[in-house]
Amino acid sequence: MNQYRLYLMIVACLALACLVWFDNQQPSPMASAPPIASGEPQDQTDPDLSSNDENKQSSHISIGNPLVAISKDELRDTVERPLFAPTRRRPVETDTAKHQDTTLIGEKPVYELLGVVLNGDRAIALLRNAADGTSFRVESGDMVGSWRVATVEAASVFLERSDGTPLSVSLNH
């Protein structure tokens, strides 16, 4: 019985090796598909195919962006109703960047710089309005009342009004 066990294992290994070899010899429909780099839909007709090979053409799979054929108007709901928001509605825009300036046109507001976060190309500053004590975060280009954030540096924030009036807010240690 033990001598047959060795022969049986050899035959089983050969059978599995044949199956693997046979499986790797079948041409894959993806191997003949040309890659699509431009994202535009490709024409599925091949001049080398005869009318008898229409079933091969139907199994031809195109590689590319599946959303190319869909217009942006049809995708509006994916933006307006985000999948992972609990209410399936867009989050309400906060008024931190749209903070209303309570100062008069002629006087400069009093802001305190609480801190700055620098991360590569992005700089975020945390400001506090000294008049009412509200804190808000700003980035370069944000509007704070009638002031635009010109630049955010490691220890200061530079604001600029539309008439060109500058305002510098430095970090107090």
Q: Please write the tens of the pLDDT for every residue from 25-79.
A: 766 555 555 555 444 445 555 555 455 554 544 445 556 777 778 887 887 777 7
The pair phi, psi for residue 149, each rounded to 5°, is -75, 110
Residue 173 pLDDT more than 50?
Answer: yes
Please, which residues bridge with residue 136 across strands? 127
- Say what the pLDDT of residue 66 is: 75
Residue 95 lies in a domain: no
Is 127 domain-assigned?
yes
Coil vs helix vs strand at 53: helix
Whether pLDDT at 144 is above 70 = yes
Query: Number of structural domains, the chain?
Result: 1
User: What domain range is 118 assigned to?
Assistant: 111-163
> Is the residue at 135 inside a domain?
yes
In the chain, beta strands by DSSP E = 111-119, 122-129, 135-139, 143-144, 147-152, 156-161, 166-170
Residue 11 located in a structural domain: no
How confident is the model at residue 31, as a pLDDT?
A: 56
Does residue 3 lie within any of the structural domains?
A: no
The band of 101, judged by pLDDT with boundaries at 50, 70 and 90, is very low
The answer to whether residue 143 is domain-embedded is: yes
Question: How does residue 100 score in pLDDT terms, banded at 50, 70 and 90?
Answer: very low
How many Cα atoms sit within 13 Å of 88 on the Cβ side? Answer: 3
**6-40 residue pLDDT tens:** 899 999 999 999 988 888 876 655 555 555 544 44
Residue 25 placed within a domain: no
Q: Is residue 69 part of a domain?
A: no
Say what the pTM is: 0.41
CA distance 162 to 146: 7
What is the identity of the amino acid at 117? Answer: V
Radius of gyration of the chain measured on its C-alpha atoms? 33
